[in-house]
């Protein structure tokens, strides 16, 4: 190859590099060992908004704001001396015009044939990328803070086709603390491993619902590593993350709520038992007093009546006025006997214990009709229903309260009563045609008569429902389950 051709080729390569230097979109700079600029391309000038003649021959740090210049230059010179030039790095600088910007530098050392070292720097402005990176990092940090500082345990699980429960992909610090697993242990666990075995059916059910409805809230019991059981309320959301079905679950510890509920349940059970106990004591006392009055007082009065009659018979004809007195005495004894019977049956009608519920209802209805002039119709079973004494009493007392309410509040002119036993249930209905009870009156906590009826039925697993129709009446329906007693009461 002759010299001429070689020179021509070399000048072609120079030309090519010269063009490449200028068309590059990245800023390019050549600097000598002291940091003075030997050459820059157009992109470099554009990035730093300076002209070539403001740059060439000047220290590279002229592109920066004054306070940064010296430090930048010294650091460069020191690195050159130590042969430690950083090859690829990112840095934020304040420029000569006050603008702050992020740059990515890629430096390489070149040693010239004369032994001098020069540095080729390729510069990219990366402010936009950096800004979004910083924003992303900040929002990640915020999210992380939220994730870990929330008072509830948070679990993120990802569902996969082969595993029905999927895998944990993220848990927060509260979840780790509460359940006693490290995050690493969590990521190895199946999400079902933290569910108390007795709740697993509920858990499956709610997972199925979640897939359909995308959001479910349910109560569950978690089981910690140390086997401690923690009642929680879980709030789960389904969403797509990295093209996979993902579940975000927030579990709130509801131990206190559950304890309070339990306490409330226990105390209301206790109150109910106490009320039932008091009712039965009251009923026993009524029965006892009613019998005592009926038997003792009744017998004394009957004996008195006999004695008085005998006395009257012993009087002769000319003792007329005395006989009259004795006769009125006998009348007084008769009306006292009547009063005793009334009081005694008001306390507890003997008919209830002697003839049973049907007869007692018939008797009570007749009494009610006599007292109020309200017409009553009765539908009763043909055969006596043989119930336990407590249930008979409860139904009868509910019936009495319903009639008393009709007499006191309904302004009704007709009442229809029906008693029916069907498939181990006894149904009693009392319907009037009065003004109709309102919902507010039914629910009013002062309506003790109504609450008493409901309570009496509830003791036996039964129920009382009351419905009012404005201007056309009220219907009280009682339903009590029973096992018929085969041989007497």
Ligand X SMILES: Nc1ncnc2c1ncn2[C@@H]1O[C@H](COP(=O)(O)OP(=O)(O)OP(=O)(O)O)[C@@H](O)[C@H]1O
**Binding ligand X by CB under 6 A: which of 447, 458, 459, 481?**
447
Q: Which stretch binds Mg ion (CB under 5 A): 349-357, 383-391, 447-455, 470-478?
A: 447-455
Give the integer Cα–Cα distance in Å for 430 and 481: 18
Applying CB under 6 A, does 25 fall inside the site for ligand X?
no
The token duo for 273 is 């038992």
Compare residues 222 and 397 and give the one whose CB is closer to Mg ion: 397
Compare residues 165 and 368 and give the one whose CB is closer to Mg ion: 368
The CB-of-159 to ligand X minimum distance in angstroms stands at 54
Question: Binding partner of residue 409 among Mg ion, ligand X, none, CB under 5 to 8 Å per kind?
Answer: ligand X
Give the integer Cα–Cα distance in Å for 197 and 204: 11
The closest residue (CB) to Mg ion is 449
Burial 297-329 (b: 16+ CB within 10 A, else e): bbeebeebbeebeeebeeeeeeeeeebeebeeb
Q: Alpha helices, DSSP H only, in 315-356?
A: 320-347, 350-354
The CB-of-279 to Mg ion minimum distance in angstroms stands at 16
x/- contact string, 404-443, with Mg ion (CB under 5 A)?
-x--------------------------------------
Applying CB under 6 A, does 371 fall inside the site for ligand X?
no
Applying CB under 6 A, does 305 fall inside the site for ligand X?
no
The closest residue (CB) to ligand X is 449
Applying CB under 5 A, does 43 fall inside the site for Mg ion?
no
Question: Binding partner of residue 434 among Mg ion, ligand X, none, CB under 5 to 8 Å per kind?
Answer: ligand X
Backbone angles phi, psi at 265, to 5 degrees: -60, -45
Output the CA–CA distances (angstroms, integers) from residue 294 to 299, 350, 366, 367, 375, in the order listed.
8, 9, 21, 19, 30
Compare residues 191 and 436 and give the one whose CB is closer to ligand X: 436
Around Cβ 178, how many Cβ atoms within 10 Å?
Answer: 19
What is the DSSP secondary-structure string of 420-440? EEETTEEEEEEEE-SS---HH
Residue length of the chain: 489
217: left (phi over 0), alpha (psi -120 to 50) or beta: beta
402: nearest Cα among 357, 432, 363, 424: 432
Applying CB under 6 A, does 450 fall inside the site for ligand X?
yes
Q: Which stretch binds ligand X (CB under 6 A): 27-35, 301-309, 357-365, 429-437?
A: 429-437
Q: Which residues sit at the interface with Mg ion, rule CB under 5 A?
A: 405, 449
Binding residues for ligand X, rule: CB under 6 A, are: 405-406, 408-410, 432, 434-437, 441, 447-450, 474
């Amino acid at each position: 190859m002759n010299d001429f051709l070689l020179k021509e080729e070399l000048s072609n390569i120079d030309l090519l590099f010269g063009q490449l230097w200028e068309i590059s979109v990245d800023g390019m700079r050549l600097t000598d060992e002291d940091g003075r600029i030997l050459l820059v391309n157009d992109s470099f000038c554009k990035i730093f908004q300076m002209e070539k003649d403001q740059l060439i021959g000047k220290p590279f740090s002229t592109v920066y704001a004054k306070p940064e210049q010296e430090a930048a230059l010294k650091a460069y010179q020191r690195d050159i001396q130590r042969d430690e030039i950083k090859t690829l790095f990112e840095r934020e600088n304040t420029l000569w015009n006050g603008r702050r910007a992020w740059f990515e530098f890629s430096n390489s050392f070149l040693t010239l044939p004369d032994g001098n070292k020069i540095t080729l720097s390729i510069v990219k402005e990366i402010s936009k990328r950096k800004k979004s990176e910083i924003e992303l990092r900040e929002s990640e940090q915020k999210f992380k803070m939220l994730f870990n500082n929330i008072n509830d345990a948070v679990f993120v699980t990802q569902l996969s086709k082969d595993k029905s429960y999927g895998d944990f992909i993220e848990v927060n610090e509260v979840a780790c603390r509460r359940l006693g697993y490290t995050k690493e242990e969590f990521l190895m666990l199946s999400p079902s491993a933290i569910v108390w075995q007795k709740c697993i059916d509920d858990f499956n059910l709610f997972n199925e619902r979640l897939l359909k409805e995308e959001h479910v809230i349910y109560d569950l019991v978690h089981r910690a590593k140390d086997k401690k059981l923690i009642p929680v309320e879980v709030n789960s959301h389904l969403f797509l993350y990295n093209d996979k079905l993902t579940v975000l679950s927030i579990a709130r510890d509801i131990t206190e709520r559950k304890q309070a509920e339990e306490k409330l349940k226990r105390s209301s059970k206790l109150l109910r038992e106490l009320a039932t106990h008091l009712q039965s004591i009251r009923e026993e006392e009524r029965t006892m007093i009613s019998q005592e009055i009926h038997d003792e007082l009744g017998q004394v009065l009957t004996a008195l009546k006999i004695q008085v009659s005998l006395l009257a018979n012993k009087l002769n004809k000319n003792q007329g006025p005395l006989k009259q007195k004795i006769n009125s005495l006998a009348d007084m004894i008769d009306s006292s006997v009547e009063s005793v019977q009334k009081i005694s049956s008001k306390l507890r009608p003997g008919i209830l214990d002697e003839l049973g519920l049907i007869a007692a209802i018939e008797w009570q209805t007749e009494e009610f009709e006599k007292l109020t002039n309200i017409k009553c119709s009765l539908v009763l079973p043909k055969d006596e229903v043989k119930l336990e004494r407590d249930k008979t009493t409860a139904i009868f007392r509910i019936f009495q309260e319903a009639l008393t309410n009709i007499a006191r509040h309904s302004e009704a002119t007709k009442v229809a009563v029906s008693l029916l036993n069907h498939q181990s249930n006894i149904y009693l209905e009392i319907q009037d045609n009065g003004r109709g009870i309102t919902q507010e009156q039914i629910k009013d906590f002062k309506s003790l008569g109504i609450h008493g009826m409901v309570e009496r039925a509830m003791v036996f697993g039964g129920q009382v429902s009351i419905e009012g129709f404005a201007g056309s009446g009220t219907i009280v329906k009682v339903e009590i389950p029973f096992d018929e007693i085969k041989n007497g009461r």
